Structure 1
Amino acid sequence: MALVTLQRSPTPSAASTASTATTNAGEDFGSDDERRLNQSLSESFFMVKGAALFLQQGSSPLSQKVHPHHKHAGDLPRHLQVMINLLRSEDRIKLAVRLESAWSDRVRYMVVVYSNGRQDTEENILLGMDFTNKESKNCSIGMVLPLWSDTKIHLDGDGGFSVTTAGKTRIFKPVSVQAMWSALQILHKVSEVSRRYNYFPGGMSLTWTGFYESCISSDQSCINEWNTMRDLETTRPDSPALFVDKPTERERTERLVKTKLRSIMMYKDLENITSKEIRTELEQHMNCNLKEYKEFIDNEMLLILGQMDKASLIFDHLYLVRSTPGIY
C-alpha cells in the first residue's frame, strides 16, 4: 500500500490570479497566494497495485508520510498524473483501476470521475483511458459511461464485472483481486448516489458528460475493446430436487469450494493474483472443472476478502475501513 500526492497543472485563469495577487499585494502576499494555489491543486491517493483511490483534495499536515516510489505503486502514479491532466479543472478522479487487455503491450484504466452538477450534487461517470504501452507519456479516452439511477453491477464470474446503465453494458476485468475489490467498493457507492438523486438521461444532471464524449480519440481497436460484449450463454433450468432434506451435488460442491477457497486465499498475495488464477488453482486442488461455479466463486472470494481485510492505519488516528459491497 502507498500514499501518493500528485500536483495538477494550474489552469490559465488560476495562474493569472496568483500573478495578479503578487503584483498588487507585494512579494510576501504573492508567495502565500501561490502556496495556497499549489495546495488547492494537490490531490492525494491511496494506492494498491493496480488501483488508486482518491483520499483528499488540498494539502495535509501529514503529507510528509507520502511515499511516491512505494513498490506497490509501480507505474500507477505516473499514469495517474497523465490521466489527471486530461480532466477539466473542476473534475476529480475518485478511482482508477488498471484492467486486463487482449493486447500484451496495452495499458487500460477504468476511471471514476466526479464533479458537482447543475444542482450542486455529486455526479459520476466512468472513463476508459488507454496507454499504447506502459512507458507512454500520453493517454487517450476510449469510453465514456455516465452513471444514471438505473446503474446495475454484476460479477461476470471470470474475474471481472459488468456495469449496465441506460441500456449500455460495459465489461471490466481488473488486474488483481484487490483491484476488483477496490473498484466494486466505489462503484456501489457512486451508483447509490445516482439512485438517491434520480439521475436520468435527458434531465439536468450529467450534462458535462458531453465534454468527454467529444474527447474520445483512442485507436479504433481500443474503442472496440471497451465495447466488447459478454459471450452469450445458454442456461439450463435447475432439475427438481427429489430429496429436499439431502444436500444436492451442487450444494456439496459449493461447501467444499468455500473451504478450499479460504485456505488458498489465506496464503496468496491478493494484489498480484487474479480471481481467474485463484479459480484455476482451486480446480487443481479439487481435481474438477468449476466453470459453472464461476459467479459463485467470485461472490465467495469477495466475502472472504471482506472478512480478511482489517482496518488499515493510514495516518495517526485515521484508519481505512472497507465494508463488503452489496452484490446486485
Structure 2
Amino acid sequence: MPKPIQLAPAAKPVLIPSPVKIASFALALLLCIGVLVYGLLPGLLAVCLGYLWAAALAGEGRSKGLRLSPTLAAAVVVLLPLLGLGLLLANAKGMAFGAVGQYQALMHLLAGTVLEIRQKLPADLASHLPAELIAVQVWLADYLKSKAQALTGFGTAGLHGFLLVYVGLVVGALIEGTRVGGTSAPLRFAIRQRAGHFIEAFRQIVIAQFWIAAINTLCTALFLLVALPLFGVNMPYVSALIALTFFAGLIPIVGNLVCNSVLALAGVSISPAVGLSCLLFLIAIHKTEYVINAKILGKQINTAAWELLAVMFIGEAVFGLPGLVAAPLYYAYAKKELQAARLV
C-alpha cells in the first residue's frame, strides 16, 4: 500500500484553527467549481499528473532505485512532452487529420447503421420492433452526424487542449521541483493538506482507471485484430475503435457503455451475427472487469458502482461532459476528506 501523498511535511505539528480549515475547504470548493465552469478540467488533471510524475522520478516514498533531484525530475517532466510532440510532428505528418477523418467516417457509418437496423435484422425479429423506434433511430442518426460535423473544428480545439494540458504538467512538475520546507502558517498548511488529499484521490481513482482502460483496450484489440479475422470478419475502422475503447474507458462505467455501444453498432453494420458476437464478447469482458474493478479500484476508495453512477449523473446534469469526467475524482476527494475527519 503506497504511503499517502503529502505536498510538504510540516516542520512541527500544527493545530489548525477551525475558521482557517473552513477557509481552506471554501477555497478548494471554489477551485473545483471554477475548473468546471471555465473549462479547465484537463489542466487540473494535468497538474496532478505532472506532480505525480515528477514525484515518482524523484523517488518519493522509495528508498531504492534511480532517484533524481526534485529540480531534475521537474525538468524531465517539462521537456519530455515537447520532445515527444516534436518526434510525432516530424514522423507522423497528417496522422492527426487522418484520425479525425476516420472518426468522422465512423460516425457516419454508425448513423447509417442505426437508420437501416430494420433491414439488417431478420424479418421475423424486425416485425416485432415498435413503430415508435423509428423516431429514436432518426434522432440518434442525426446526433451521430452532428458529432461527425463537430469534429471538423478539432484542429483548433486540439491545439488549445494540448497547451492547457502542457501548462498543467509544468505547474504540477514545478510544485515538486520547487518544494520548500515545512510551514507553520495555518492557512498555507491547511491548503497543502487539501491539495495532498486531492492528489491522493487522483492517484487512487484516475491512475487505477488508466490500468482498467488499458486492460479493456488490450482485450478489445485481441478480439478485433485476432479473434474476428480468424472467422473471416474484418471490422471497419479498427484503429479508431481501439483508440476510442481506451480513451472512453478512462471514464468509469459510462465510458465503457459508450464504447460498447459503438462496437456493437459497428458489428451490426457488417451483419447481425457479428453484432451478436460483439455483444457476447462485451458481456464476457465486463464480467472480468467486475473482478478488475474490485481489485484495482474498489478496495482503494471503498466506493460502490451505484455511488459513482449517482455522482456522475449529477455532474453531467449540472456541468455537462466535464462534470461527468470530474465527478468520480471529486467524489473520491470528498470521501477522502471525510475519512480524514473520521466522519465516514
How high is the TM-score relative to the length of structure 2?
Answer: 0.22
| Greater strand fraction, Structure 1 or Structure 2 | 1
The one of the two structures with greater contact order (alpha-carbon pairs below 8 A, sep at least 6) is 2
